[in-house]
């Protein structure tokens, strides 16, 4: 492999120095918040700052987080970056929902690099029926990257800072629920404790962080299991912010449909006694690690989705669950095989990862909601697992 030249090495050094300064400022910000809160922060507040603090958090910076290989400076790959056939296939169920529910707007939450939006806006399936593509994006850095990616579609794309008061159209969210802050709970054998974060060097801004558990009234939801089945030390997550987001969406979606794609499980699997370490995970340079308190701001922090909680939040807000299945089954139902027939061999190989059981196909799930319109969603016509929620 050819050695990088002096200019490349200098650019890398500058980038590393800038990143180190931003991380130091982020640690100082979090340490001050811990101090202001009496020396302890619940993990969801820590996670929110680590990911979304403006200009400092992981998603608030201009670093490149999405891409196929670590050499690109990315930390992980999402389905639209993996294969353009992901968006081309998703266009079909979105077009069906637009036709069934009326409207001419697709709303995307957490649009990442803008790759999925570009694929949908370029698709023949949606075509002229898609007159407006609204992206709800909190990160200014990601918004600028999306503007570059979607420059050719500038006449149809707009950006919003928050959910509008009323929505009519189709909502899509790919890997957005897993990035919403979670609360951590630990079972000590007799009670639930909430895991929070303290400053390792009390009274300073530059030190690290450590865990501290406190008694709590919070507890995970239990359907098929009881507390007596858990061994002391069992650690898991609850998702009040993701469920509150779905509830708010349900209140504001006047007529339309919504599809969310993410990794996760139904409640019975999520809170299984053998899943005793929870699902919290960090991603950096296409490698995983379980320690969100280290290298804060330099890596993604995620947790798997409890799809039962998401479904109940939607139903309680007036949404109908129209289906729940694996990503593989959803894409196959929507015609991925037809797209593969026109793809090159390398493109087929990449697209297979979308449906391979050992890649994204089974771990990732799709849940669909609708309000004010009834239709048989094509993505769930075979293999619907709503009964498992």
- pLDDT at residue 150 above 90? yes
- pLDDT at residue 70 above 70? no
**Under a CB-based contact definition with an 8 Å cutoff, are residues 74 and 80 in contact?**
no
177-214 pLDDT tens trace: 999 999 999 999 999 999 999 998 754 445 699 999 99
DSSP string, 214-266: EE-S-----SS--GGGPPTTEEEEE-HHHHHHHHHHHHHEEEEEEEEEEEEE-
How far apart, in whole angstroms, are the C-alpha atoms of residue 132 and residue 108? 11
Confidence of residue 114 (pLDDT cuts 50, 70, 90): very high
Percent of the chain whose predicted confidence (pLDDT) is above 70: 90
- pLDDT at residue 166 above 90? yes
362-384 pLDDT tens trace: 999 999 999 999 999 999 999 99
- Residues in CB range of 163: below 8 A, 6 or more apart: 136, 248, 249, 252
Strands (E), 175-219: 183-187, 192-199, 209-215
Burial of 292 (0-12, 13-18, 19+ CB in 10 A): buried
Phi, psi (degrees; rounded to nearest 5) at 12: -65, -40
- Over range 163-188, report the average pLDDT: 96
**Under a CB-based contact definition with an 8 Å cutoff, are residues 212 and 190 in contact?**
no
The domain segmentation of the chain, as residue ranges, is 79-181+235-388
- When the candidates are 2.40.160.20, 3.10.20.30, 3.40.50.360, 3.40.50.12710, the CATH number that belongs to 79-181+235-388 is 3.40.50.12710
**Cα dihedral angle (372, 248, 283, 143), rounded to 10 degrees?**
90
Mean pLDDT over each residue of the chain, to the nearest integer: 90
From the list 188, 195, 334, 191, the residue with the least C-alpha distance to 261 is 334
User: What is this structure's pTM?
Assistant: 0.92
- pLDDT at residue 17 above 80? no
How far apart, in whole angstroms, are the C-alpha atoms of residue 257 and residue 246? 12
Confidence of residue 64 (pLDDT cuts 50, 70, 90): low
E strand or H helix at 325? strand 320-326
E strand or H helix at 283? strand 281-284
How far apart, in whole angstroms, are the C-alpha atoms of residue 309 and residue 324? 13
* Sign, Cα dihedral of 354, 158, 377, 249: positive
How far apart, in whole angstroms, are the C-alpha atoms of residue 269 and residue 135? 32
- pLDDT at residue 175 above 90? yes
Q: CA end-to-end span of the chain, whole Å?
A: 50
């Amino acid at each position: 492999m050819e050695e990088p030249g002096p200019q490349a090495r200098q650019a890398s050094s500058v980038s590393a120095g800038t990143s180190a300064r931003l991380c130091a400022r982020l640690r100082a910000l979090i340490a001050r918040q811990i101090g202001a809160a009496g020396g302890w922060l619940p993990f969801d507040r820590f996670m929110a700052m680590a990911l979304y603090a403006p200009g400092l958090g992981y998603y608030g910076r201009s670093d490149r987080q999405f891409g196929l290989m670590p050499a690109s400076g990315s930390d992980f790959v999402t389905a639209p970056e993996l294969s353009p056939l992901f968006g081309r296939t998703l266009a079909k169920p979105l077009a069906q929902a637009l036709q069934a529910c009326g409207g001419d707007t697709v709303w995307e939450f957490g649009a990442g690099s803008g790759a999925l939006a570009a694929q949908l806006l370029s698709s023949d399936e949606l075509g002229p029926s898609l007159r407006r593509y609204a992206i709800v994006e909190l990160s200014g850095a990601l918004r600028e990257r999306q503007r570059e990616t979607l420059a050719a579609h500038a006449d149809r794309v707009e950006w919003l800072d928050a959910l509008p008061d009323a929505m009519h159209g189709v909502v899509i969210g790919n890997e957005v629920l897993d990035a919403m802050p979670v609360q951590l709970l630990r079972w000590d054998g007799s009670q639930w404790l909430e895991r929070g974060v303290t400053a390792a060097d009390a009274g300073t801004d530059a030190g690290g962080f450590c865990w501290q558990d406190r008694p709590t009234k919070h507890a995970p939801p239990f359907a098929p299991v009881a507390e007596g089945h858990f061994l002391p030390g069992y650690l898991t997550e609850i998702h009040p912010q993701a469920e509150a987001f779905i509830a708010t969406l349900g209140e504001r979606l006047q007529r339309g449909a919504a599809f969310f794609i993410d990794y996760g499980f139904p409640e019975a699997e999520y809170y299984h006694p053998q899943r005793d370490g929870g699902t919290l995970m960090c991603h950096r340079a296409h490698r995983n690690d379980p320690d969100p308190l280290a290298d804060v701001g330099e890596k993604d922090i995620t947790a798997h989705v409890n799809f039962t909680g998401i479904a109940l939040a939607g139903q309680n807000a007036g949404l109908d669950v129209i289906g729940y299945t694996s990503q593989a089954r959803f894409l196959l139902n929507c015609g991925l095989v037809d797209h593969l027939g026109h793809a090159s061999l390398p493109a087929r190989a990449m697209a297979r990862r979308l449906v391979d059981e050992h890649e994204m196909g089974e771990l990732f799930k799709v849940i669909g909601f609708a309000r004010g319109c009834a239709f048989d969603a094509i993505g769930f016509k075979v293999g619907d697992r709503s009964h498992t929620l």
